[in-house]
């Protein structure tokens, strides 16, 4: 299959699912590209972050019109934390890339962390029943943003499944509200990652001719996903979320075994 067509199909599908469930698409895009594209890890991380960033813009714009309770101050604190975490996560990625001097080993580290995180996300996708004062809640949103921004940029997956599970568990959100907050967090964390890479784009193994196609596919996926999300229930979103998480755990496990066989 033509590489451009492969990217378009993967990104439209992934971002559609990601916009519905709040995962952001990267959790599907990265392992699928790892398995089928043959591109270097840093290029896959960039393509995934770019696609998820564009999707988050489209989805956030459409979500703002939804009849769902949204506290923009909460999103602001979460987003501020995500900005900080996004910068920190990208620093960790580049530091380990230099330290390990091997895409395969770094990718294996990412895969192991992703699998553990997704298993925990499956277990804790339920309300804790905890209650906090507004002041404590704002601090928790800020700290949650730092954690989620760091994990999403380092892992190159947008962090969506972890975002949704954490927001449901700590803040007792419904699945659709958690999805909206998650997408907003993803926007800011991926923004920091892309800004940090912009100055060195020409030095990285990135095919700039792919970016317009990724842009179009990401917009289409974000639009389709947020449109479908308007028409489905919290229960549907939660079921879809769990199905995709299980699928991605399996795909990451396959990619991990493949890498081990190469070492």
Domain boundaries defined on the chain: 3-262
DSSP class of 25: S
pLDDT at residue 200, rounded to an integer: 67
Average pLDDT over residues 176-200: 76
- CA–CA distances in Å: residue 162 to residues 2, 5, 115, 155, 166: 32, 29, 11, 11, 6
Average pLDDT over residues 119-123: 85
Compute the distance between CA of residue 234 and CA of residue 182 in angstroms, rounded to an integer: 15
- What integer best gives the mean pLDDT of the chain? 83
- CA–CA distances in Å: residue 110 to residues 9, 116, 180: 24, 10, 25
DSSP class of 68: S
pLDDT at residue 142, rounded to an integer: 94
Average pLDDT over residues 104-130: 85
Compute the distance between CA of residue 37 and CA of residue 172 in angstroms, rounded to an integer: 39
Average pLDDT over residues 98-112: 88
- pLDDT band for 64, please (50, 70, 90 cuts): low
Average pLDDT over residues 40-65: 80
Please state the pTM of the whole predicted model: 0.76
């Amino acid at each position: 299959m033509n590489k451009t067509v492969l990217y378009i199909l993967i990104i439209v599908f992934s971002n559609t699912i990601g916009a519905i469930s709040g995962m952001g698409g990267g959790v599907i895009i990265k392992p699928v590209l790892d398995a089928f594209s043959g591109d270097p890890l840093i290029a896959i991380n960039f393509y995934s972050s770019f696609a998820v960033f564009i999707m988050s813009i489209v989805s956030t714009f459409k979500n703002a019109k939804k009849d769902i309770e949204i506290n923009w101050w909460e999103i602001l604190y979460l987003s501020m934390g995500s900005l900080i975490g996004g910068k920190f996560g990208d620093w960790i990625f580049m530091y380990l890339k230099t330290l390990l001097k091997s895409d395969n080993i770094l990718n294996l580290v990412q895969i192991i962390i992703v699998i553990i995180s997704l298993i925990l996300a499956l277990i804790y996708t339920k309300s804790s029943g905890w209650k906090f004062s507004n002041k404590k809640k704002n601090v928790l949103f800020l700290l949650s943003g730092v954690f989620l921004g760091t994990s999403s940029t380092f892992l190159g997956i947008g962090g969506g499944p972890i975002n949704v599970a954490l927001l449901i568990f700590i803040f007792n959100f419904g699945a659709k509200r958690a999805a909206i907050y998650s997408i907003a967090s993803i926007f800011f964390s991926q923004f920091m990652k892309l800004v940090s890479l912009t100055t060195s784009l020409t030095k990285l193994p990135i095919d700039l001719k792919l970016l317009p196609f990724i842009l179009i596919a990401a917009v289409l996926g974000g639009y389709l996903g947020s449109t479908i999300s308007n028409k489905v229930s919290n229960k549907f979103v939660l079921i879809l979320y769990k199905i995709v998480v299980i699928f991605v755990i399996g795909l990451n496990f396959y990619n991990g075994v493949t890498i081990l066989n190469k070492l």
